[in-house]
Amino acid sequence: MTIALNHLDTGGEGTPLVVIHGLLGSADNWRAHVKKWQAARRVIAVDLRNHGRSPHAAGMAYTQMADDLVALLDRLDVPRAHLLGHSMGGKVAISLARLAPERVASLIVADIAPRAYGHGHEAIFAGLRRLEGGAPANRGEADALLAEHVAERPVRLFLATNLERAETGQLRLRIGLDEIEGDYEAIRAAPAGEGAFRGPTLVIRGSRSDYVTDAMLPALHEVLPGAQLVTLEAGHWLHAEQPEAFQDAVNAFLDQRLD
């Protein structure tokens, strides 16, 4: 069963750019970029299932998340879209491009490769569980709870974007943590679909990130044979660390597309 995804739609003409966040992110993380992109094109930023303001539901398989996205495009009467996905969102975008290539005008993948990855979020899940059980009254208390498991303050600030004020006045998580942690193996897995997506593709990676290494490029090009590669001086959160360079890379790629 598909989920009716929460989304931000700027409106406008032409083929839209659909922006897909990564694990534990949301459309809200992309508002600054959306404001700039909307001057030239229609932009649709989505909250994936169990993220942001979208409903919670069991199952985080890439086939399910791609189906959710197709259902949204159908609901918005969008036959084809440019897809931009970061990290887990990049795997969703690759999955949709392989499963329904006729719906994808072009593909932009930010710092992820079409492969399975190892574990790496245990401390983050532990911190979120501590936060969930601690019922913080303010963001200072929330940060202290997270800090018991997550040392990096930038990571804690990112995780805190998932907090909302409950009717009781305390802060609570708005994400479907049970659903996300319960199907973490599916999130770690390679994108759905088989074969190659041969449409226009851009891969943007961070020079200080190990998510898209040189050793991964041969396998990446088997799945995305037409991919252009841009490397930014950044880590995994390249769109936040190098926002202007990221914007320039996306705009230069999209400006080549006729829509």
Contact 45, 7 (CB under 8 A): yes
CA pair distance 187, 89, nearest whole angstrom: 10
Assign 255 to helix, strand or coil.
coil
Q: Is 178 a catalytic residue?
A: yes
H-type alpha helices, 23-87: 31-37, 62-75
**Which residue among the candidates 54, 87, 95, 209 is catalytic per the annotation?**
87
Q: How far apart are CA 100 and CA 217, in angstroms?
A: 23
Q: Is 236 a catalytic residue?
A: yes
- Rounded CA separation 214/23 (Å): 23
Cβ-contact 83, 20 below 8 angstroms = yes
Which 8-state DSSP code applies to residue 174?
Answer: -
Active-site residue, from 74, 178, 210, 248: 178
Please, what is the end-to-end C-alpha distance for the chain in angstroms? 32
Contact in structure between 110 and 85 (CB atoms under 8 Å): yes
26 is catalytic: no
CA 165 to chain CA centroid, Å, is: 24
Pairing mode, if any, of strands 104-110 and 201-206?
A: parallel
Other CB atoms within a 10 A radius of the CB of residue 78 amount to 17
The one catalytic residue among 33, 86, 236, 239: 236
Conformation bin of residue 30: beta by default, left when phi > 0, alpha when psi is -120 to 50: alpha
Show which residues are catalytic.
87, 178, 236
